[in-house]
Amino acid sequence: MADYARNRMFFASSTTLMLVVAGYMSLSLFWHDPVPVIWRIPLTILLFIISQTITGMRVLITKRPDLPFLLVRTGGFISSSFMVLSWLVLLRDLLLALGFLAVLLLPCMTGAEEKMFSAMLSIPAELVMLAASLIAASIGMTRALAVPDVKSVEIPVRGLPRDLDGLKVAHLSDLHIGSTFTGKWLEEVVQRTNALEPDFTLITGDLADGTPDRIGTLVHPITELRARYDVVISVGNHDYYSGLRPWVETWRRWGMTVLLNSHREYDVRGRNVVIAAVTDPCAVLFRSLDGEMGAPDVRRALDGADEGLRILMSHRPGQAEQNAALGCHLQLSGHTHGGQFFFLFPLVSRLNGGFRSGLYKAGSMPLYVSPGTGMWGYVPMRLGVGAEITLIILRSAADAGRAEKEETH
Ligand SMILES: [Fe+2]
């Protein structure tokens, strides 16, 4: 419980934001003709209750760790539908606002526009929006909860020695095991990843949602991941929310490599490969954590590393250009979930330094942002972006040209 108590900021901000959204939606959907006056207050109360599904589910899961997955997914379906409906309401209101503006500015309008406005505000139109939200949430959830396909990406790395050309890195991120995905789902992800026969498997954070006591057995299949040289875990904000110290101790007890503002070096085909990882900026919210678990520090992570190929694992992509300047050759990140819904793409990009999903150039360094292998369980929906198990194949400069064609933004 203590770990969740530290997470009060999440509850406060999500509750407030959703109440504001519900208030706006209520005004827009219910408080106008022809919605009968007698319906307005009950519908408004219902919408305010629905708006708290995300927070409610999180509280419930904290208090009842054995909550059935069916119930969790029902909550996820409600929150996903609410999210799509809010976007449709906003879209309709923007169209109405544009229509009103046109009437004001164009005196030659015929009067037919009033019928159009009435049709857009009618009860059938609002029922259509509701039905569209439910259908979109169903499609988005089906897509989000499936075992993701493998996506192969060739990444050119400047100065990569010929000996390391073709090095295979399986990149997993944002698995969020605990509230949405079953142990069976993770077992299939592990199988598909191992089938790639990677040299390294790198997991860039948000591995668990919940404490080791509660979901340790669900997360345990990660110990079955196999790679020629190593399987490495770095941490994301959700790992802090779930209680970082117990997770790090658990993963290390399981024999996993966990890097926290540190690196490890590997002799690969006679060359030195440095895998480094930083922590997450949300570390500053947890004052009891310092040292290796404190704020991200790339210099500290690379301190003492010999020359060689330097791959940085950083849950968030936003600082990629600065990391390139510090001597990293490739950065792997996640955190964005690819924006999750197409109407959030611009916002998610903006919040993450312009990086959302796929391959980017940050200075001279390639940055790959995974859209996530799993996803956050309280809005388990993807629209316009899929999950993936990423197979990254490194290419030396001479072979690099073809790699940039599809993926680079
Ligand atoms: Fe995440």
User: Which residue ranges make up each domain of the chain?
Assistant: 2-143, 148-407
Distance 238 CA to ligand 1 centre (A): 7
The pair of structure tokens assigned to 348 is: 């998610």
Task: Give the Å distances, CA to CA, from 351 to 317, 328, 361.
Answer: 10, 23, 18
SS3 labels along 267-309: EECCEEEEEEECCCHHHHHCCCCCHHHCCCCHHHHHCCCCCCE
Distance 289 CA to ligand 1 centre (A): 21
CATH number of the domain at 148-407, please? 3.60.21.10
pLDDT of residue 240: 87
pLDDT of residue 408: 41
Distance 59 CA to ligand 1 centre (A): 19
pLDDT of residue 406: 40
Distance 152 CA to ligand 1 centre (A): 21
Distance 240 CA to ligand 1 centre (A): 12
Could you give the strand order of the β-sheet that contains 150-156, starting from the edge strand earlier in sequence? 150-156, 389-395, 168-172, 200-204, 230-234, 257-258
Distance 330 CA to ligand 1 centre (A): 20
351-365: pLDDT as tens digits: 999 999 999 999 889
pLDDT of residue 63: 66
pLDDT of residue 3: 43
Distance 257 CA to ligand 1 centre (A): 20
Distance 239 CA to ligand 1 centre (A): 9
pTM of this structure: 0.87
Q: Phi and psi dihedrals of 335, rounded to 5?
A: 75, -35
Distance 396 CA to ligand 1 centre (A): 31
d(C-alpha 293, C-alpha 188), whole Å: 31
Mean pLDDT by 10-residue block, N- to C-terminus, for the chain (409 residues)? 51 84 96 93 96 82 70 89 95 92 75 81 95 96 93 94 95 89 89 98 93 90 97 94 90 97 97 96 76 87 95 96 95 96 92 95 95 86 95 80 44
User: How many other C-beta atoms can be found within 10 angstroms of the C-beta atom of residue 40?
Assistant: 16
- The DSSP code sequence of 56-123 is HHHHHHHH-TT--HHHHHHHHHHHHHHHHHHHHHHHHHHHHHHHHHHHHH-TT--SHHHHHHHHHTSH
